[in-house]
Amino acid sequence: MQIEARTQAAIIDGKAIAARVRAQAAAAARELAASGVIPGLAVVLVGEDPASQIYVRNKGRRTIEAGMRSFEHKLPARTSQDELLALVRQLNGDPAVHGILVQMPLPKHIDADRIVAALDPDKDVDGLHPLNAGRIVLGKPGLVPCTPQGCVILARHVLGEDLSGLDVVVIGRSILVGKPVALLFQNANCTVTMAHSRTRNLPALCRRADILVAAAGRREMVRGDWIKPGATVIDVGINRIAGADGRSRLVGDVAFEEARQVARAITPVPGGVGPRTIACLLLNTVQAARTIAGRRA
């Protein structure tokens, strides 16, 4: 269990867990390399969004550190949908590329759904293709989106592998986070409630949760008295606010100081769910490389 013991809730150390997952991905990549397959991850960035540029740089660095090949495609914001589709098709056919990640958000003139649908589902390491989304619904193996996968892994670090029968409340029902998180916990035999902006009496609902996942994008919305004593709290939200010193800082969807008086364990923001995302991406790339190698055999 990767948690730091405290008098209040244990703080789940997402960075340490991420480092362990990256080491696991690197070991799997070495094994594949020994059989002649070096996993390759292509990341496509359209435009100059500063946050996306940082993500892409970090992804490239971590990919190389894990002994994999990194291919970066940086395209200008004016890139047309057809040009992007042509690149996706080229990467689909490139035998050195096993994973393709198109960094979101895309410029408004590009239909993100069309781009995602054009990906080879076996190379869709972000787990966004409708086929991979459908596999989660069916409870079949496939490429699982990284942030939702991270939520389940963090819960297992606190509560152990078997989450059967636990009550889970997920705040948020987005395609990217809320829905896949809810389905993954359901596949782990939890009893899951998905809440959203129209949910009635959200605090009372949250108080029933053994595992509370907050993914609403509303700063510090979840208060201490929304939390069942001893619950595990996974805070996915990332909200930038101005600090007292005038500098901006990140906070989650959970009022951290209040929540840690009540919870058993809680993820901090930053340093909780976030670091897991790139680590899961590397694992997904290894999984994709195995699938594609099997397809060619």
Name the residues that contact ligand NDP, by CB under 6 A: 147, 171-174, 176-178, 195-199, 202, 215-218, 221, 236-239, 273-274, 277
24 or 199: CB nearest ligand NDP:
199
- Told to judge if 122 belongs to the known catalytic residues of this protein, a careful annotator would answer no
DSSP 192-256: EEEE-TT-SSHHHHHTT-SEEEE-S--TT-B-GGGS-TT-EEEE---EEEE-TTS-EEEE-SB-H
149 or 287: CB nearest ligand NDP:
149
Residue 14 Cβ vs ligand NDP, minimum distance, rounded to whole Å: 9
Of 13, 124, 126, 235, the catalytic one is 126
174 or 189: CB nearest ligand NDP:
174
200 or 295: CB nearest ligand NDP:
200
CA–CA dist 141, 212 (Å, integer): 25
- Told to judge if 123 belongs to the known catalytic residues of this protein, a careful annotator would answer no
* Residues contacting residue 183 through CB under 8 Å, at least 6 positions apart: 136, 137
- Could you give the 3-state DSSP secondary structure of residue 71? strand
CA–CA dist 94, 103 (Å, integer): 19
CA distances from 72 to 40, 57, 225, 230 (A): 11, 9, 46, 44
Residue 223 Cβ vs ligand NDP, minimum distance, rounded to whole Å: 12
Residue 92 Cβ vs ligand NDP, minimum distance, rounded to whole Å: 25
* Residues contacting residue 297 through CB under 8 Å, at least 6 positions apart: none
Residue 218 Cβ vs ligand NDP, minimum distance, rounded to whole Å: 5
- Told to judge if 186 belongs to the known catalytic residues of this protein, a careful annotator would answer no
37 or 269: CB nearest ligand NDP:
269
CB 214 within 8 A of CB 171: yes
Residue 296 Cβ vs ligand NDP, minimum distance, rounded to whole Å: 33
Report, as residue numbers or ranges, the catalytic residues. Answer: 59, 103, 126
